[in-house]
């Protein structure tokens, strides 16, 4: 976990990140059993979290288009009880949302105690996209980063553990995935011409992501930069970190009421 965690006040250099990294595994088959073992650990821990009802887990997934946010949710969280998990996807703010501060819609979606909340994109979009397109100044971005840190710290103080994953793919891998969406009728619904427009801003997005992660990787809410060209290794790492985090949270079943006097007829 420490290998992929960005230290507080650390520097994120993309040249030091290898999206093709697959750790000590040779291939997907080599990682299969360990990945499944971590995924299977999540379900009973989530059941305890739900029963305990005293703390929650927020998982934030950020990535460039086609980075694998949907696939990570589908594969890593496939075994848990849907009653104990909420997934929120943040699109372009609605007219109502624009009338409020940028964290208003985010706080409403934060997981209640006992739940796992997953953000598919998040409050970081309201800094990243606006910076890349010149709608937000660097000075205003710095203010928002401070507000984000305060917001996430407030969540942690109130019993929510915050995990943040940036899924790192290469520009070539994005090209392959976009082309696959165009070519495959089953995936074509995912393709949008806007993806090609945003792709032209690749370098600007990489610069913006680096600044965002550097400014907001804190002891209470660290960023994990996950190599994601190999989907199977991405799933392994996220499953491992989620399982380890839930274990560290140590959720417990509530103490049962005394039943010695009860007789079911």
Q: Is residue 258 part of a domain?
A: no
Over residues 95-106, mean pLDDT: 96
Tokens for 185, please give them. Answer: 């009728």
Q: Is residue 254 part of a domain?
A: no
Please answer whether residues 170 and 19 qualify as being in contact, where contact means their C-beta atoms are separated by less than 8 angstroms: yes
**Chain-centre distance for alpha carbon 224:** 9
Count of domains observed in the chain:
1
Q: Is residue 107 part of a domain?
A: yes
Q: Is residue 260 part of a domain?
A: no
With a CB cutoff of 8 Å and minimum separation 6, the contacts of 191 are 178, 181, 182
Rounded to whole angstroms, the Cα distance separating 204 from 97 reads: 26
With a CB cutoff of 8 Å and minimum separation 6, the contacts of 243 are 38, 39, 41, 42, 45
Q: Which domain holds residue 22?
A: 2-249
Q: Which pLDDT value is given to residue 255?
A: 84
pLDDT in tens, 60-69: 999 999 999 9
Q: Is residue 10 part of a domain?
A: yes
Minimal CA–CA distance to 118: which of 257, 250, 242, 24? 242
Residue 213: C-alpha distances to residues 12, 21, 223 (Å): 7, 20, 7
Residue 124: C-alpha distances to residues 104, 116, 128, 147, 254 (Å): 13, 19, 6, 11, 36
Q: Which pLDDT value is given to residue 265?
A: 79
Rounded to whole angstroms, the Cα distance separating 187 from 191 reads: 7
Q: Which pLDDT value is given to residue 1?
A: 74
Q: Is residue 172 part of a domain?
A: yes
Residue 39: C-alpha distances to residues 32, 100, 238 (Å): 11, 38, 9
pLDDT in tens, 104-115: 999 999 999 999
1 CB burial (10 A radius; 0-12, 13-18, 19+): exposed
**Residues paired with 119 in a beta bridge:** 60, 88
Please answer whether residues 87 and 73 qualify as being in contact, where contact means their C-beta atoms are separated by less than 8 angstroms: yes
Tell me the pTM. 0.94
pLDDT in tens, 184-203: 999 999 999 999 999 999 99
Element (H, E) at 224: strand 223-227
- Read off the CATH number of the domain in which 141 is found: 3.40.50.300
93 pLDDT more than 70: yes
pLDDT tier at 260, thresholds 50, 70, 90 = low
Q: Is residue 264 part of a domain?
A: no
Q: Is residue 197 part of a domain?
A: yes
């Amino acid at each position: 976990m420490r290998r992929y965690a960005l230290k507080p006040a650390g520097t994120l250099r993309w040249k030091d990140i290898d999206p093709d990294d697959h750790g000590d595994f040779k291939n997907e088959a080599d990682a299969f059993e360990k990945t499944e073992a971590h995924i299977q650990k999540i379900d009973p821990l989530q059941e305890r979290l739900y029963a305990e009802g005293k703390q929650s887990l927020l998982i934030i997934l950020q990535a460039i288009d086609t980075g694998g946010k949907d696939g990570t949710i589908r594969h890593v969280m496939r075994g848990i009880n849907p009653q104990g998990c909420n997934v929120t996807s943040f699109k372009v703010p609605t007219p109502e949302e624009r009338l409020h501060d940028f964290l208003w819609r985010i706080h409403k979606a934060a997981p209640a105690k006992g739940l796992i909340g997953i953000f598919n994109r998040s409050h970081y979009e309201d800094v990243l996209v606006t910076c890349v397109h010149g709608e937000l100044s660097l000075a205003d971005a710095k203010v928002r980063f401070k507000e984000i840190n305060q917001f996430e710290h407030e969540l942690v103080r109130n019993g929510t553990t915050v995990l943040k994953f940036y899924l790192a793919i290469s520009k070539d891998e994005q090209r392959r995935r976009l082309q696959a969406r165009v070519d495959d009728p089953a995936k074509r619904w995912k393709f949008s011409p806007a993806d090609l427009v945003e792709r032209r801003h690749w370098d600007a997005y990489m610069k913006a992501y680096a600044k965002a992660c550097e400014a907001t990787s804190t002891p209470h809410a660290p960023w994990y930069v996950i190599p994601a060209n190999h989907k199977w290794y991405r799933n392994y790492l996220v499953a491992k970190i989620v399982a380890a985090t839930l274990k560290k949270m140590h959720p417990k079943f509530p103490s049962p009421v005394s039943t010695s006097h009860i007789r079911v007829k």
